[in-house]
Amino acid sequence: MGRDCQTRMADVVVLEPGYAAYDTERAVLAGHEVQITPVSLDEPAVPALQALDPVALLVRERQIGAAEIDACPNLKIIARYGVGYDNVDLVYAKARGIYVTNVPDYGADREVSEHGVALYLAVQRRLVSRDADVRAGKWGIGQAAPVPGRQDAVLGLIGCGKIGLQAARKFRALGFDRVVVYDPYLEEAIARDEGIERTDLDTLCREADVISLHAPLTPETRHILNAGRIALMKPDAIVVNVSRGGLVDEAALAAALTEGRIFGAGIDVFEQEPVRPDNPLLKAPNTILTDHAAWYSERTVGLLQTKAAEEVSRVLNGKPPLNWVNK
């Protein structure tokens, strides 16, 4: 049975974690008889959704499966704040006639590539441990914590869309000599224009000094960086992941770091988020971890909130969304 809109405004639910405020969404949706209702991360999603019966869901990281979808009989759209949508059951949503959308064009290639370079530099120069040493009264650490040279260094990119291309340019500016890429979808003309060498995965893992991941998470790319490929890497290699946690076998990466088989890692994304307290990367040496923050700046937040809310508005107006991912 539908909601009586004369007695209660329909809900557009934000499943936290989301953002500090939702004035942007309220402004975009001001012409609709809806209210923005956040559901906190501490609140179980299913009973909250059953009580609210929203017409739209806005979501960043929460998992949206059959139980969450079935809790919303009048749901029309699930709008993902961001590019990836592997946390939403696309097939089940389609079976229920519910649109799923993403925001592929909010322009975070600058922020994400910048964060990847920052992670590399922090790992390469051991900035976190050197800071801790100085604060603890140590000095002249030098070769007690070796730093490899990177003359004629090779960058290996797994995935090379807009963000990968930005990363390649930034690493070249740091003096990297070659960029090798594994991406079946990279056009030859783009590779040629950017001076990028296309190669296979195993060759990339053998040759690269730094491996930076910029691929979507699909059944084919899950654990694309597995124990076998990690074993091919140079002993002074660094892994940077600012894409999707499931691209990397975290246990295998942690083992390689702990055993000293590779130099370090900078990781912004995890297979399970928030990261589990027993994740082995939390104890791995020369590893810098951030909280899926590579996309973030105040500029990108505003664009994400606006574009996701605009998709909700289109659907509430009876139109199909622009970025419909479960057709």
Residue 165 within a domain: yes
How far apart are alpha carbons 97 and 90 in whole angstroms? 10
Residue 119 within a domain: yes
Give the pLDDT score at 8.
Answer: 72
Give the pLDDT score at 5.
Answer: 43
Residues 44, 119: one domain? no
Residues 129, 267: one domain? yes
CA-to-CA separations, 287 to 164, 237, 293, in angstroms, rounded = 21, 12, 16
Give the pLDDT score at 2.
Answer: 42
CATH of the domain at 278: 3.40.50.720
Residue 15 within a domain: yes
Largest CA distance in the chain: 73
How far apart are alpha carbons 312 and 245 in whole angstroms? 28
Q: What are phi and psi of 174, to 5 degrees?
A: -85, -5
Domain enclosing residue 280, as ranges: 109-289
Q: Which of 115, 126, 229, 292 is catalytic?
A: 292
Residue 2 within a domain: no
Chain position carrying tokens 């104890």: 283
Asked whether 25 and 316 are in contact (CB, 8 A), the reply is: no
Q: What are phi and psi of 143, to 5 degrees?
A: -75, -5
Q: Which of 278, 304, 294 is nearest to 212 (CA)?
A: 294
Give the pLDDT score at 7.
Answer: 56
Residues 139, 28: one domain? no
Asked whether 101 and 87 are in contact (CB, 8 A), the reply is: no
Q: Which of 68, 244, 310, 311 is catalytic?
A: 244
Number of domains making up the chain: 2
Residue 323 within a domain: no
For the whole model, what pTM was predicted?
A: 0.87
Give the pLDDT score at 17.
Answer: 84
**Which residue type, as a one-letter code, is found at position 304?**
L
Chain position carrying tokens 């402004």: 27
Q: How many CB atoms lie within 10 A of CB 183?
A: 19
Residues 85, 203: one domain? no
Residues 149, 279: one domain? yes
Residues 185, 56: one domain? no
**pLDDT tens, the chain, 327 aa long:** 344 445 579 999 999 988 999 999 999 999 999 999 999 999 999 999 999 999 999 999 899 999 999 999 999 999 999 998 999 999 999 999 999 999 998 989 999 999 999 999 999 999 999 999 999 999 999 999 999 999 999 999 999 999 999 999 999 999 999 999 999 999 999 999 999 999 999 999 999 999 999 999 999 999 999 999 999 999 999 999 999 999 999 999 999 999 999 999 999 999 999 899 999 999 999 999 999 999 999 999 999 999 999 999 999 999 999 999 999
Residue 208 within a domain: yes
Chain position carrying tokens 């405020």: 21
User: Does residue 292 carry a catalytic annotation?
Assistant: yes
Residues 102, 113: one domain? no
Residues 180, 169: one domain? yes
Residues 162, 251: one domain? yes
Give every CB contact of residue 65 below 8 A, 6+ residues apart in sequence.
89, 92
Q: Distance between terminal CA atoms of the chain?
A: 26
User: Does residue 273 carry a catalytic annotation?
Assistant: yes
Residues 193, 172: one domain? yes
Residues 126, 270: one domain? yes
Q: Where are the beta strands (DSSP E) in the chain?
A: 10-15, 34-39, 56-59, 77-80, 99-101, 154-158, 178-182, 197-198, 210-213, 238-241, 264-267, 287-289
Residue 147 within a domain: yes
Q: Which of 296, 274, 291, 245 is nearest to 81 (CA)?
A: 296
Residues 271, 305: one domain? no
Long-range contacts: 249-255, Cβ < 8 Å, 24+? 249/223, 249/225, 250/279, 250/280, 250/281, 251/280, 252/226, 252/227, 253/225, 253/281, 253/284, 254/279, 254/280, 254/281, 254/283, 254/284, 255/227, 255/280
Give the pLDDT score at 4.
Answer: 46
Residue 47 within a domain: yes
